[in-house]
Structure 1
């Protein structure tokens, strides 16, 4: 699904380097957000990070993010943003952030920015860090469905999203968070040429059609054989 492109291609808002707004939420993978930043910056994109209060509370290394991006991490309106973004990435995203965005709740600076971005139809990709149990309740899947209906790309499920599990770090090391999914999806939102090209599915022919063709081939073979015999 392409972000906010429906019937028309996306329009870049900036003439210079791609400007990405990265919203970092209070989920465990944030401790490895430098990996995401490496992948984004490697593309030549500029990044402005916004941290939710929960992200700061659970230990986001704000100074490390600032060193990597060369820009201050925004946590409130007291710190001005640098530019209007071409696209927004929310990673890692929590179930709480998904619910707020779906319901239009703007109780934090980050939540307000995201709500405004949906209204402004700025391309947005969300890479959640949630457990399978969160999806077993009908509430969160409904929020995700509504966000997708609004044009937001939520990377959960096939073909380009992650598959949540109930695994815990208490049971042993967890697999690396798939940051690359967000980067690839964002690239496809900004530039459709970046989108993965999948081979078209082969349509299955009706059985009746297959039987008819088979009988026709058999009949033709019999006719040819009889003609040769007469000759």
Structure 2
């Protein structure tokens, strides 16, 4: 079975909008694990607009499944990860002002930097995954870096699948086959949803883990909305 790691950034966004502690990020993370998810993912950014660095520290005590911290390995991020020591760090080439991740690493151009970062995290007992486009030379470049896993950036697949183009999975299949041959663990994430996840899983050999946040939280709001509205109506009778 492919593991599900739930990205809880959007829970932090909702909490921060009111300045209090509703929803309670730690309780949500605890409940998500209790509901059966096999991991919790966070993506702290330098401006702390959703996940705060203190959240990363606080979550360490309550995540008993797999703890994955993703982000751009600039100094403050590296220091945080080395302090918290999650199970996995996913390296993502985000610009400082990026709304969300929008590309995988050029693992050839940035080989030296990524090798240094990978070795530093591995020395501290942290598994490393590198965010990668489904391009064979980038998968080969990731292997040369020495990373444990890659995470395939799936936005292009999700967009095309939504338009009815199922052939969009082909480069991901080819990248997955290559990763398996090279002995790289395989993760995937970005815009995966209830609409496309089954098809993606069935067509990607060796898929170990998916990280899903925005779609899952949005779907949870809608699929739970009728129940909550009716609970209010019952109390107001």
* TM bracket, shorter-chain basis: 0.3 to 0.5
When normalised by structure 1's length, the TM-score is 0.33
Query: Whose strand proportion is higher, 1 or 2?
Result: 2
Larger Rg: 1
Higher RCO, 1 or 2 (CA under 8 Å, sep at least 6)? 1
